[in-house]
Amino acid sequence: MENAQQLGLFPESDARFDPRRLSADDRAAILDSEYNQLMTACGGTYWLTAGPETSAVWNATYDTFIQGIWPAAILCAHATCERTLASLMSVLYAIRPEPKGWRGWGLGRYTGHMAEHNLIEARLIDAIQIVVDARKPLVHWRGPLEVGSLQRVGAEAALRGEDGGEALDRHIAQLAFLCVRTAMRVHFGDLTRDIVHRNR
């Protein structure tokens, strides 16, 4: 969460936002409002699609966030971003020579490639990197107090005199919120329009 604040991705009020304190209907209303704002910003349409697989994963992202299944929402948001960026790669390299082995890349590699070649805006790259980092402690083994481990989040909170379990639960829920918002921006945002405008 600290990284997100430092990057200025979301207002300070969002950094304090705790989705656990809202009902499922309220969480759905927040995502629906975000979606409507995004569609307005994109002119009401988007044409880049990563196929029915990604639509299914995005639906799972939406549903698990609303239901408060925070780790699942993070993992599904990660999958939504990865498949959408893979789809963007297929568009970008439909004619020109493609990077070797790109179909086997993961989200971190796609993000690095997009950043290196200035293919999507820097602030979105930063947001996607948070999704990459949020997934890591859920699927890769880390020692209890290694940097990035969830147990360390609780331990550090306890050292500050806070309830470690409560801090950990809040941390995961807030990360889920950031990841789901980013997945929405990636999946429904007009990434290719940004490329066209900057290459004119």
Distance between CA atoms of residues 177 and 9, nearest Å: 13
Specify if 133 maps to a domain.
Answer: yes
Specify if 156 maps to a domain.
Answer: yes
For residue 169, give the CATH number of its domain. 1.20.120
Specify if 124 maps to a domain.
Answer: yes
pLDDT at 124 over 70: yes
Specify if 121 maps to a domain.
Answer: yes
| Section 137-162 average pLDDT | 75
Matching residue, tokens 């929405």: 184
- pLDDT-based confidence at residue 32 (cuts at 50, 70, 90): very high
The letter for the amino acid at 22 is L
- pLDDT-based confidence at residue 12 (cuts at 50, 70, 90): very low
Number of domains in the chain: 1
First to last CA, the chain: 36
The letter for the amino acid at 143 is G
Which residues of 86-183 form beta strands (DSSP E)? none
Specify if 39 maps to a domain.
Answer: no
Specify if 3 maps to a domain.
Answer: no
Distance between CA atoms of residues 120 and 136, nearest Å: 23
Distance between CA atoms of residues 23 and 12, nearest Å: 22
Structure-block tokens of residue 196: 């066209």
Specify if 33 maps to a domain.
Answer: no
Specify if 30 maps to a domain.
Answer: no
Domain that holds residue 73: 47-198
* pLDDT score of 2: 45
Q: What is the pLDDT of residues 166-182, one digit of tens each?
A: 788 888 999 999 999 99
Mean residue pLDDT of the chain comes to 81
